[in-house]
Chain A
């Protein structure tokens, strides 16, 4: 697992303050509350590598991934891209804890033209209420799919919008990002290829970490870009915990 340890000596002094806030003799009892307040604010720029720092994220359910994401989890809102060489590499398994928490909040999950049939028994097994899952059929035109994605992102009732769109222009991505911000919604785009200059604030890549001697179960998840992280980090996760 790669972390930011080799990086810390060259860091600005702020980061050390965060890490050793409890032990610092100059900080009294009350400072921990202030600290917590500061750490839970995603809008505050701290001028340091945020990987595994702060508390403003929503836990992914995978400890290794939390450790390399800014705010220790998924962002509350915005757009993210998940890049896999094929569909079905465990990208949905990665999101299942998130879906569960969104359904528990009473919000809806909208699947916009998924490439295969969404299979309800698996959702039930994962603890997701299928009454709060909606799907837009596969053969919807790209224009309509994007329209529904934008509208869904703007709606406060939708907590998560999943869409399978391989290539989208920067302009469209920015528009979706704006829509997600107005609706406090998380939008996920699944893609096959990474585009370097994508404006999405979070880009993940899932790859197989298969080698003859490694265990079968782990996949390599790379955080290519995350708002707050200084560089891309990767970790190995067992995505199929139940299977």
Chain B
């Protein structure tokens, strides 16, 4: 089959002038919401026969269109729409996301909310608030009609319209400018050249001719808008959340006695995660007290997990250093962030398993988590070497992280000076005394080797001008000492070779 777009010169079959669709002027309604009430006179004629067959559509789709989201990139847009969809879930269980627009089905909830006006009022406030929070314009367009695409087109056109019946949809859509259709540049130009400004102009054209000229997507787009063709939608699925709480029958002061209950809740959580094939890396544990603010423990995991044993151990460690201000009356576990679960396969061969004990595997992560849970976040450090000439800056102490290169990628290296460096460095260099003409720390000092001259950091104000020596104290320690080259030319102890 040839591409219909490439054959621009196909003559359109003639159409009879009297077969034009009847256009209904939607009666204006207060509150900016024009509604097309089903009128007896508006029953359709010959042209709308396929629609008439299913005139009683079961659905009414309420569309919200946000023109202000157009400038945002797709991930940002998705994020915003996801949050707005959360608000829409309060009026309908069937919400779907579209580019810059949200759609929900409201026919089933019309009776409950006693009318579309109330539904709109219910949605308007939180959505406006949310948009203001993101520093976006807080206006949006809305429309409702029996088809998804129809509602979208109506909302896009900026007319806040309600079309109840499918047979009225054709005329309502006919008033819209052809610009609202999702077309490419070439198709747009062609429509313009054909003198088509409104959708009603398209209604007058035969569909197989249109199909040839504009492709089947174009015709499908119109058919779905009119409800002739089916239109599947992807329902919005809210992100999973896990909240489990337990009211204690009596107050508990001893955290050890709370553990079995917490364990029970964790079992629920792990079950929840297993059913959804998820794992979690952070959970919030709240302990409620009578007449006091609750104690909240935020438990973060280095690697997402869903092992109950691991979580229980972590909790136990957290409890170990927790002091509670008052007896506990209730406990709650809350998880909002989830990660996909990645199973790790065991090695088939025994030897391979023992070789693969890499330092970064899950066992170690669990151990490090417990260590940090007990000691505090910044008590566990990793050391790394930095390419710095100045001895004080050549060693970095970083908080232990998953990837030590994240923090300062350029600074870490394995290049070191060829001269001896001590294993231990003093936080502050310690001035050495001279006793009877000999250097003296705890006992007299003899210089073994040196000097190594280090001159650096003149640019930062602290001018480092030192001659370093390896020295030996008469008690057996090996010292790293230096003599200042400026000022008083004092001797300092800077490290131990340990």
Name A residues whose Cβ lies closer than 8 Å to a Cβ of B.
Answer: 85-93, 105-108, 114-126, 130-137, 140, 144, 147-148, 151-152, 155-158, 206-210, 216, 219, 240, 242-243
Q: Other than the known A90-B478, A118-B424, what 19 A-B pairs have Cβ atoms closer than 8 Å? A: A86-B475, A88-B477, A88-B496, A91-B498, A93-B497, A106-B357, A106-B358, A107-B357, A116-B496, A117-B424, A119-B422, A119-B423, A120-B383, A121-B385, A122-B423, A135-B397, A155-B367, A208-B475, A216-B472
Indicate the member of A92, A119, A134 with the most B CB atoms within 10 Å: A119
Contact (A135, B422) CB under 8 Å given A86-B442, A88-B498, A144-B375: no
Is the C-beta of B456 less than 8 angstroms from some C-beta in chain A? no
- B56 interface residue, CB < 8 Å from A? no
Q: Say how far A87's CB is from chain B's closest CB, in angstroms.
A: 7
A133/B382 in contact, CB under 8 A? yes
A135-B380, A157-B357 as given contacts; A120 in contact with B477, CB under 8 Å: no
Residue of B nearest to A190 (CB): B498
Would you call A121 and B421 a contact (CB within 8 A)? yes
Do the beta carbons of B476 and A116 come within 8 Å of each other?
A: no
- Give residues of chain B (395-452) contacting chain A, Cβ–Cβ below 8 Å: 395-397, 400, 404, 414, 416-417, 420-427, 442, 446, 448-449
Cα of A114 to Cα of B370 in the assembled complex, Å: 20
| A85 contact set on B, CB distance < 8 A | 475
Residue contacts A-B, CB under 8 angstroms, 26 given: A86-B475, A88-B479, A90-B477, A108-B364, A115-B424, A117-B395, A117-B397, A117-B427, A118-B425, A119-B383, A120-B386, A121-B421, A122-B420, A122-B423, A134-B368, A135-B383, A136-B379, A137-B381, A147-B374, A148-B374, A155-B363, A155-B367, A206-B476, A216-B446, A243-B478, A243-B497
Residue B459, interface by CB 8 Å: no
Q: Is B361 at the interface (CB under 8 A from chain A)?
A: yes
Contacts of A151 in B (CB 8 A): 367, 370-371
Which residue of the partner chain A has the closest CB to B396? A120
Distance to closest chain A CB from B427 (angstroms): 6
Tell me if B287 is interfacial: C-beta within 8 Å of chain A.
no
Given A118-B423, A125-B420, A210-B474, check contact A90 B381 (CB 8 Å). Answer: no
In the bound complex, what is the Cα–Cα distance between A115 and B424 (angstroms)? 9
A131: chain B residues at CB < 8 Å are 359, 382, 384, 404
Which chain A residue shows the least CB distance to B386?
A120
Interface assignment of B470: CB less than 8 Å from any CB of chain A: yes
For B496, give its contact among A87, A133, A137 (CB under 8 Å): A87
User: In the complex, which residues of chain B have a beta carbon less than 8 angstroms from the beta carbon of A209?
Assistant: 476
A133–B424 alpha-carbon span in the complex (Å): 14
Question: Which residues of B472-498 have CB atoms within 8 Å of chain A's CB atoms?
Answer: 472, 474-479, 495-498
B394 in contact (CB, < 8 A) = yes
Inter-chain CA distance A75–B423, complex, in Å, is: 24
Interchain CA distance A89-B498 in the complex, whole Å: 5
Q: What separation, in Å, do the CA atoms of A108 and B400 have in the docked complex? A: 13
Option from A118, A126, A140 in Cβ contact (under 8 Å) with B375: A140
Cα–Cα, bound, A116→B417 (Å): 21
User: Interface size (B, Cβ < 8 Å)?
Assistant: 54
Q: Which residues of A contact B404 (CB under 8 A)?
A: 131
A240 and B394 in contact (CB under 8 A), knowing A86-B475, A136-B380, A152-B367? Answer: no
- B363 with A157: CB separation less than 8 A: yes
State the CA gap A118–B382 with chains docked (Å).
Answer: 10
Bound Cα distance from A19 to B397, whole angstroms: 50
Measured between C-beta atoms, what is the minimum distance from A203 to chain B in Å? 18
| Interface bits B458-475 vs A (CB < 8 Å: 1, else 0) | 000000000000101011
Check B495–A116 contact: CB distance below 8 A. yes
Q: How far is the CA of A126 from the CA of B384 in the complex (A)?
A: 14
Contact indicator B364/A136 (Cβ below 8 Å): no
- Pair B379/A137 contact, Cβ less than 8 Å: yes
| Residue numbers in A under 8 Å from B400 (CB-CB) | 134
Instruction: Assess the A157–B364 pair: CB atoms within 8 A.
Output: yes
Q: Does the CB pair B498–A92 fall under 8 Å?
A: yes
Cβ contact within 8 Å between B359 and A88:
no
How far, in angstroms, from A207 to B383 measured CA to CA in the complex?
Answer: 29
Q: Which residues does chain B contribute within 8 Å of A89, judged by CB atoms?
A: 475-477, 498
- Asked if A156 and B370 sit within 8 Å, CB to CB, the answer is no
A115–B498 Cα distance when bound, in Å, is: 11
B359 neighbours in A (Cβ, 8 Å):
106-108, 131-132, 157
**Is there contact, CB below 8 Å, between B475 and A119?**
no
Tell me whether B474 and A208 are in contact (CB under 8 A): yes
Whether A123 pairs with B371 at a CB distance below 8 angstroms is: no
A151 to B375, CA, bound (A): 12
CB distance from B376 to the nearest CB of A (A): 9
A210's nearest neighbour on chain B, judged by CB, is B474
Partner of B476, one of A115, A118, A158, A207: A207
Docked-complex contact B476 and A140, CB < 8 angstroms: no
A-side contacts of B368, CB under 8 Å: 134
Taking the closest CB of chain A, its distance from the CB of B75, in whole angstroms, is: 33
